[in-house]
Amino acid sequence: MLTLNGIYKNYGKKTVLSNISLQVSKGICLGLVGPNGAGKSTLIKIIASIIQDYRGELRFSDSVRIGYVPQDISLEETVSAKDNLQFFGRLYGLSGKALKERISEVLKEIGLEKREKDKVQTFSGGMKRRLNIGCAILHEPDLIIMDEPTVGIDPQSRQHIFQMVDRFREAGKTIIYASHYMEEIERLCDEAAFIDHGKIVENGTIQQILQKHAVPSIFVKGGNALPDKINEFGSVAAKNGGYIVQTNRPLDAMEFVLQFYKEKNDQLERLELVQPILEDVFFSLTGKELRD
Ligand SMILES: Nc1ncnc2c1ncn2[C@@H]1O[C@H](COP(=O)(O)OP(=O)(O)OP(=O)(O)O)[C@@H](O)[C@H]1O
């Protein structure tokens, strides 16, 4: 659906995107992940054609209708939800019965049908975020680009947004979803692109990224210290009152620990296989935590 080839973007002398190349296939949900300032919004604005002064190639395979959900909520607070939808609907060229019908569908989709006449200034942060999404989908876009759509909202609205993304996927939409919450990317996306300092440091399906980079670990907690020779299995770090051993031989390491505790006749509180998660992969590739 969309190809980015060697994209560069500068603000003055500062390079904020450097040699970005990406393929986005139709019907997938791609997560753009990176810490604050990594360049996610700039990249999204290039894809949405809001920023046009960049170098490199941006190519769409068909004619694609884009729905863009900006990071900063862009609504008129002094009028109702419905009036905001009407304004955006007209911008997309909708009018009359078609606009009316679409507004009522969207109000249902975003869960605001009962609040349609209320002024936006009376809405919670989560309701505003949902309306912000509603304004971007009125024209039934094929590609929905969402820039950190869940920042600073209540858990119910967050769940509502997740379910909306699921429905968009089921309807065959292509989605680009920027976030610095890795668990959202794991929950929602098929593929991910990790961005740091304006560069893509890794991308692929979530499964591929995990298989390529994630090292399994075991967690051990108990009365005894770890056996000296545990270092032969991999690196050891203290965590939550116990130890994490990163190892490519997790089952052998577990057996080794079990044997050790049996011989010492000591109590083992916990011995667990820890599944690798994307957050750890991001950290190992960039040395950065994603949290604020
Ligand atoms: N209009 C602008 N003029 C100058 N610098 C800018 C402008 N917009 C963004 N930047 C800078 O470009 C870099 C990338 O910003 P961008 O907003 O794309 O990152 P981001 O990954 O979306 O981060 P955030 O989650 O904080 O929005 C940052 O250093 C930012 O300060």
pLDDT of residue 137: 97
pLDDT of residue 291: 60
Q: How far apart are CA 268 and CA 55, in angstroms?
A: 58
CA atoms within 13 A on the CB side of 131: 32
Count of other CB atoms within 10 angstroms of residue 225? 12
Q: What is the CATH number of domain 2-204?
A: 3.40.50.300
Give the tokens for residue 190.
């098929």
CA of 27 to the centre of ligand 1 (A): 28
Give the tokens for residue 23.
């393929």
Looking at residue 102, its amino acid is R
pLDDT of residue 223: 85
pLDDT of residue 66: 96
CATH class, 215-275 region: alpha beta
Looking at residue 72, its amino acid is D
Q: How far apart are CA 135 and CA 72, in angstroms?
A: 13
Domains 2-204 and 215-275 share a fold: no
Domain positions in the chain: 2-204, 215-275
CA atoms within 13 A on the CB side of 42: 24
pLDDT of residue 49: 94
CA of 255 to the centre of ligand 1 (A): 49
CA of 148 to the centre of ligand 1 (A): 13
Give the tokens for residue 64.
């694609």
Ligand 1 pocket at CB < 6 A: 11, 16, 34, 36-42, 71, 148
**Exposure b/e, 124-146, CB count within 10 A at least 16 = b:** eebbbbbbbbbbbbbbebbbbbb
Q: Give Cα separations from 20 to 144, 209, 252 (angstroms).
A: 20, 18, 41
pLDDT of the chain, 292 residues: tens digit per residue: 999 999 999 999 999 999 999 999 999 999 999 988 999 999 999 999 999 999 999 999 888 999 999 999 999 999 999 999 999 999 999 999 999 999 999 999 999 999 999 999 999 999 999 999 999 999 999 999 999 999 989 999 999 999 999 999 999 999 999 998 999 999 999 999 999 999 999 999 999 999 898 888 999 998 877 888 898 999 888 888 889 898 989 999 999 999 999 998 889 999 999 887 888 888 878 877 776 5
ipTM over the 0.90 cut-off: yes
Q: How far apart are CA 87 and CA 64, in angstroms?
A: 22
pLDDT of residue 65: 95
- Residue of the nearest CA to atom 31 in ligand 1? 37
Q: Could you tell me the pTM of the whole model?
A: 0.87
